[in-house]
């Protein structure tokens, strides 16, 4: 052992050799000028595939084993370390070598300087073979990259689906708005009984198409987690009576009695998602009427639990229809399930209605239950929680009619901003039937010019030709006088959650989704009925 090596080993401790000779890792010692290999442990031969003696003869040979891509970096790092090591800087280095069989190994080296009397007398360190660790890390990185790519692909697919949904919704709802709108307008004109029956068929078919469209869109939004819910005040009695009236024609045409029974403890004024409640009940009632050939369909509403702030209501739709086999009860809420065989189907539908009912109710923190006996009818119950608005209006065994069309009339002046000429005409006529004086603007610029005249309400389409409805509303809000805020209601065929959110962010007060029903217009007019409140708002 050389004198220098002995001095270094003395510095490292008496057990250095025992540890180094038996270790699976490579221990090494270099001279102070880094030109002489003073020691290397036996594991060097196993990992590098070269003899220790060859390294003693030519200390720099190990650098030639470093692959070309890493060699310059390693050489530069070692040169910097030799300068800084004299102030006790530790070497940390990771590189790849090529053994004599042509196999690449990943090596991690740690080193430090050895001092005697404040002078560097050499360097020592340890080298680890981390090939397996790097392989595992590489596999992990590959998996992570594959996951990222899959995630990006899924997000792109979801965005494409969302874009398609938005386009499809707009393209289908716009003509559907014209069909249902004209049907509502014609219903108020002088018609023969035969013409009225024909008009009812148009309206009923349009409503059926709307239900299918809503189900299909909601199914797609559930798939990508984009289904939105609101938490707003609404009147249950108006919602239910309007729904029963809409469904009564379908029941009447089949000779079925449609019955509503609501217990006295059910309040009218609730806070929740009225649109989703109506959708749930419409699906259940439509389904019950579809599978009932004689007898009745009954909607029963009663209170399950109530405190000062919250209430849980049970909505049960009972029919005397064909019933459901016990074997199918477990899957009746599954998507694309039908009571009858695909090849023997007598009833229309995509098989989405009940599955959407279940998912909507569950997302509203509720639950669904079904009971049925083949040939005897079925009972579908939904338990849905709500928050209470305030005073309970007792309703016993019947429903209160919504206010008449005339009750919403107050000769208010409104502006309809809509570029589609058919939708312009329909909106104008529906509002005029409710007693409004209506002006129409076909573009954003025309709307901005017309609001120099004071309106009590503005109905705003989103897809305008020159400037979209969002930007138009922002400009209107900027021009409003202090203390005055005109209610602006979006009338749009865009139904995605982000579209609704953009409406509110732009400064709109409410969002109506096309097709627009006159009963919904009436409710909006009532909610924003007071000009004084309008001036005080904001």
Dihedral (C-alpha) 342, 299, 252, 512: value to the nearest 10 degrees? Answer: -80
Contact 41, 28 (CB under 8 A): yes
Residue 386 Cα distances to 239, 301, 311, angstroms: 15, 14, 5
- Measured N-to-C along each axis, helices 193-223 and 131-187 cross at an angle, to the nearest 10 degrees, of 170
> What is the structure's pLDDT at 407?
46
Q: Assign a CATH topology to domain 232-338+350-388.
A: Heat Shock Protein 90 (3.30.565)
What is the rounded CA–CA span in Å between residue 382 and residue 359? 11
> What is the structure's pLDDT at 18?
80
Interval 400-424 mean pLDDT: 71
Could you read off the pLDDT of 440-480 as tens digits, one per residue? 999 999 999 998 888 999 999 998 999 999 999 999 999 88
> What is the structure's pLDDT at 105?
94
Is the pLDDT reported for residue 318 higher than 90?
A: yes
Q: Is 254 helix (H, G, I), strand (E, B) or coil?
A: coil
> What is the structure's pLDDT at 189?
83
Answer with the residue of higher pLDDT: 166 or 107: 107
Contact 106, 96 (CB under 8 A): yes
Interval 106-131 mean pLDDT: 88
> What is the structure's pLDDT at 498?
78
Could you read off the pLDDT of 283-311 as tens digits, one per residue? 899 889 988 999 999 999 999 999 989 99
In this structure, whether the domain defined by 412-534 belongs to CATH 1.20.120.530 is answered with no
What is the rounded CA–CA span in Å between residue 20 and residue 82? 23
> What is the structure's pLDDT at 488?
95
What is the rounded CA–CA span in Å between residue 48 and residue 43? 8
Pairing of strands 119-129, 377-388: unpaired
- pLDDT band at 327; cut points 50, 70, 90: confident
Q: How many residues does the chain have?
A: 538
What is the percentage of the chain residues whose pLDDT exceeds 90? 37
Beta bridge partners of 313: 303, 384
Residue 419 phi/psi, 5-degree rounding, is -90, -20
- pLDDT band at 156; cut points 50, 70, 90: confident
Pairing of strands 104-116, 510-513: unpaired
Class of domain 3-134: alpha beta
Q: Is 29 helix (H, G, I), strand (E, B) or coil?
A: strand
Answer with the residue of higher pLDDT: 117 or 295: 295
Answer with the residue of higher pLDDT: 335 or 234: 234
> What is the structure's pLDDT at 406?
47
Q: Cβ atoms within 10 A of the Cβ of 196, count?
A: 13
Sign of the CA dihedral 123, 129, 133, 139?
positive
Where are the domains positioned within the chain?
A: 3-134, 149-224, 232-338+350-388, 412-534
- pLDDT band at 526; cut points 50, 70, 90: confident
Class of domain 149-224: mainly alpha
Interval 167-181 mean pLDDT: 81
Could you read off the pLDDT of 258-270 as tens digits, one per residue? 999 999 999 989 9
> What is the structure's pLDDT at 402?
43
Interval 11-40 mean pLDDT: 84
Is the pLDDT reported for residue 537 higher than 50?
A: no
Radius of gyration of the chain (CA): 39
Sequence-distant (≥ 6) Cβ neighbours of residue 410 within 8 angstroms: 435, 525, 529
Could you read off the pLDDT of 192-201 as tens digits, one per residue? 888 888 888 8
What is the rounded CA–CA span in Å between residue 198 and residue 87? 98
Q: Which of 63-67, 215-219, 519-523 has the highest mean pLDDT?
A: 63-67
User: Which range has the worst mean pLDDT, 381-385, 453-457, 479-483, 521-525?
Assistant: 479-483
Interval 184-191 mean pLDDT: 84
Is the pLDDT reported for residue 534 higher than 50?
A: no
What is the rounded CA–CA span in Å between residue 492 and residue 495? 8
- pLDDT band at 401; cut points 50, 70, 90: very low
Beta bridge partners of 485: none
- Specify the residue for token string 């390294």: 55
Q: What is 123-179 written as a DSSP string?
A: EEEEEEE-HHHHHHHHHHHHHHHHHHHHHHHHHHHHHHHHHHHHHHHHHHHHHHHHH
Mean pLDDT over the full length of the chain: 83
């Amino acid at each position: 052992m050389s004198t220098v090596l002995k001095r270094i080993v003395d510095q490292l401790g008496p057990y250095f050799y025992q540890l180094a000779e038996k270790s699976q890792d490579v221990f090494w010692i270099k001279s102070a000028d880094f030109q002489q290999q003073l020691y290397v442990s036996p594991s060097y031969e196993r990992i590098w595939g070269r003899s220790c003696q060859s390294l003693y003869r030519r200390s720099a040979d190990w650098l030639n084993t470093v692959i070309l891509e890493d060699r310059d970096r390693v050489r530069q790092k070692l040169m910097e370390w030799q300068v800084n090591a004299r102030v006790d800087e530790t070497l940390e280095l990771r590189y790849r070598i090529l053994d004599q069989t042509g196999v690449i190994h990943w090596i991690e080296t740690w080193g430090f300087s050895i001092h005697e009397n404040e002078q560097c007398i050499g360097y020592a360190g340890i080298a680890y073979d981390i090939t397996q660790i790097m392989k595992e890390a590489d596999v992990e990185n590959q998996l992570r990259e594959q996951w990222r790519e899959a995630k990006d692909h899924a997000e792109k697919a979801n965005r494409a689906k969302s874009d398609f949904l938005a386009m499809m919704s707009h393209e289908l709802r716009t003509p559907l708005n014209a069909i249902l709108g004209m049907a509502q307008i014609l219903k108020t004109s002088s018609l023969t009984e035969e013409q009225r029956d024909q008009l009812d068929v148009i309206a009923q078919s349009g409503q059926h198409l709307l239900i299918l469209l809503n189900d299909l869109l909601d199914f797609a939004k559930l798939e990508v987690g984009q289904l939105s819910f609101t938490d707003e005040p609404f009147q249950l009695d108006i919602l239910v009576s309007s729904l029963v009236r809409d469904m009564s024609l379908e029941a009447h045409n089949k000779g079925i009695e449609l019955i509503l029974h609501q217990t006295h403890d059910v309040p009218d004024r609730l806070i929740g998602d009225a649109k989703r409640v109506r959708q749930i009940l419409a699906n259940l009632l439509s389904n019950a009427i579809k599978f009932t050939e004689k007898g009745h369909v009954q909607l029963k509403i009663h209170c399950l639990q109530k405190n000062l702030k919250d209430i849980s209501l049970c909505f049960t739709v009972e029919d005397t229809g064909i019933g459901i086999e016990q074997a199918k009860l477990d899957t009746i809420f599954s998507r694309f399930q039908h009571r009858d065989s695909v090849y023997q189907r007598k009833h229309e539908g995509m098989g989405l209605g009940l599955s959407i009912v279940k998912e909507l109710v569950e997302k509203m923190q509720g639950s669904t239950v079904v009971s049925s006996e083949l040939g005897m009818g079925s009972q579908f119950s939904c338990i849905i929680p709500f928050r209470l608005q305030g005073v309970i209006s007792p309703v016993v065994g019947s429903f209160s009619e919504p206010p008449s069309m005339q009750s919403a009339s107050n000769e208010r002046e409104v502006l309809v901003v809509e570029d589609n000429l058919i939708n312009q005409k329909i909106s104008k006529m529906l509002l005029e039937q409710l007693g409004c004086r209506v002006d129409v603007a076909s573009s954003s610029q025309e709307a901005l010019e017309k609001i120099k005249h004071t309106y009590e309400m503005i109905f705003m389409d989103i897809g305008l030709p020159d400037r979209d409805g969002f930007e138009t509303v922002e400009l209107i809000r900027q021009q409003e006088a202090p203390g005055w805020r005109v209610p602006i209601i979006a009338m749009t065929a865009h139904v995605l959650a982000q579209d609704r959110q953009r409406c509110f962010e732009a400064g709109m007060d409410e969002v109506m989704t096309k097709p627009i029903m006159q009963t919904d217009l009436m409710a909006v007019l009532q909610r924003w009925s007071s000009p004084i409140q309008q001036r005080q708002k904001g």
